[in-house]
Amino acid sequence: MTALTLSTAGAATLRADAVVVGIAKGTGPKAGPVVAPGAEAVDKAFGGKLAGVLETLGASGAEGEVTKLPSPSGLKAPVVLAVGLGTAPEKDEAFAAEVLRSAAGAAARALTGTKKAAFALPVEAAEDVAAIAEGALLGAYAFTAYQDGGKGAKAPLAEIALIGAKPRDKAHKAAAERAITLAEEINRARDLVNTPPNDLYPESFAAVATAAAKEHGVKVQVLDEKALTKGGYGGILGVGTGSANGPRLVRIAYTHPAAAKSLAFVGKGITYDSGGISLKPAGHNETMKCDMAGAAAVFAAVVSAARLGLKVNVTGWLALAENMPSGTATRPGDVLRMYSGKTVEVLNTDAEGRLVLADALAKASEENPDAIVDVATLTGAMMMALGSRTFGVMANDDAFRTAVHETAEEAGEPSWPMPLPADLRKGMDSPTADIANMGERMGGGLVAGLFLKEFVGEGITWAHLDIAGPAYNEGAPFGYTPKGGTGSAVRTLVRLAERTADGELG
């Protein structure tokens, strides 16, 4: 992964292949771009005319805009990269963390193939160090495991020197170290999401989790088909029964001796979703390797909590299965007896994520955590409602839903609180079983949330994150977000664990 250091050198004197500066939109009808704090030395090398030169080249300071130009004499770096920060903040106000995070990511992406870059973006506090470091490290990501690195291939930016931060300042140093840990685990989650399903299936995913758990002193337990059958996990088994690759339930647990609270994170881990007997049509199954993104996020979050030494107990449940059609696959009309003892009539085998999550939620509830949060690429309906960059938040407690939403926003992940209307529950009534896995078509994302709520233990606070939109970016990269797996929800889960450890929640 890309290396990151805090540098005491100046932007003009540090030896690097490029120096990154920020520019903002000036205020007023005729105002052009303005040089952002941190770039003073670079502006001086341009004779105080850097903003004018950039405007001549067409730069406006818009967020994410990238402009490269050769350095004048007086700078050690041969290239200056100016990245837009959007409208300049009011006097005595700072740039928002997400603005800096996104700008740093855009700059890092634009410097693919570069060995070392100095980032001279605005730094006033440790929060700025964290945002710039996170954005740059996440932007310098590439999934190249299946490419030969032949002629024309470019590696991600190799080294980042963060100028303006103070290496001896405890807060700045801690912010940088946290950013490195977080970026490494988010990128691990991205790698898992991007791995093709012929190589990532329940057993191999469980092996990755086991190896990482041992490396970081985290306890891990893997239930295979035999153990799942003995334990009565009808939901996970029902989804995985059509595949030659058997399902798994992985428990990965981090504990801290001084912890006062415990959290359970539950992740949907469908390593490939064909839809099963209710087969997806062509055009809807090509990216279904990403249907395990919830489990990847949970896995990454638990490992992050362990590496950061958070004073909270965090248990992750990875409900892993491959949903395939075959002579042994679950059929529409079949009834499954779930781990909780409830029976579910399967009306659509492509509504499989809620089945594996139901078993994992019921099992997680037995440990009576202070709160459970599940994460899943669950419904296309949520994408229809919120688009491809925002995930939905549902909960059985309004205050907790608000806390999770606010935590996500603080972490830089767009989210939106969604209701769980009681009237939609009737649509899942079944004449054969306790509940059906489908209900009304309208409000399908909310119906899925209501289904999951049925399997949460009595009196346990619970939230559901439907990350179907932001988990996998099928469009062009933007900011620090690459094409493909994004690592959605990892930052939210980690921040939630931090807030719980600090006594802010529960």
pLDDT digits (tens, 9 = 90+) for 157-198: 999 999 999 999 999 999 999 999 999 999 999 999 999 999
pTM score over 0.75 = yes
Whose tokens are 């995913």? That residue is 205
Residues 375-403 have pLDDT tens digits of: 999 999 999 999 999 999 999 999 999 99
pLDDT at 433 over 80: yes
Mean pLDDT over the full length of the chain: 97
φ and ψ of 93, to 5 deg: -115, 155
56: confidence class by pLDDT, cuts 50, 70, 90? very high
- Looking at residue 91, what is its pLDDT? 85
pLDDT at 302 over 90: yes
1: confidence class by pLDDT, cuts 50, 70, 90? confident
The catalytic site residues sit at 280, 354
Mean pLDDT within 269-283: 96
Mean pLDDT within 329-336: 98
Per DSSP bridges, beta strands 3-7 and 435-436 are: unpaired
Number of helices (H), then strands (E), in the chain: 14, 20
Task: Please give the share of the chain, as a percent, with pLDDT higher than 90.
Answer: 95
pLDDT at 47 over 90: yes
Mean pLDDT within 124-133: 97
Q: How many residues does the chain have?
A: 506
pLDDT at 82 over 90: yes
112: confidence class by pLDDT, cuts 50, 70, 90? very high
φ and ψ of 265, to 5 deg: -110, 130
- Long-range (24+ apart) CB contacts under 8 A made by 178-181 are 178/130, 178/308, 179/4, 179/129, 179/130, 179/133, 179/134, 179/137, 180/4, 180/133, 180/137, 181/304, 181/307, 181/308
Mean pLDDT within 221-250: 98
pLDDT at 30 over 70: no
pLDDT at 8 over 70: yes
Tell which residue, 437, 446, 439, has the closest CA to residue 385: 446
Is the model more confident about 71 or about 151? 71
Nearest-angstrom CA–CA distance, 383 and 416: 12
313: confidence class by pLDDT, cuts 50, 70, 90? very high
- Looking at residue 474, what is its pLDDT? 97
* Helix, strand, coil fractions of the chain, as percent rounded to 5: 35, 20, 45
- Looking at residue 148, what is its pLDDT? 84
Mean pLDDT within 141-169: 91
pLDDT at 28 over 80: no
pLDDT at 296 over 80: yes
**Burial of residue 259 (number of CB atoms within 10 Å: 0-12, 13-18, 19+):** middle
- Looking at residue 283, what is its pLDDT? 87
369: confidence class by pLDDT, cuts 50, 70, 90? very high
- Looking at residue 153, what is its pLDDT? 78
Task: List Cα–Cα distances, 392 to 173, 224, 241, in angstroms.
Answer: 34, 31, 30
The DSSP letter of residue 87 is E
pLDDT at 464 over 90: yes
Q: How crowded is the C-beta side of 20, counted as CA atoms within 13 Å?
A: 33
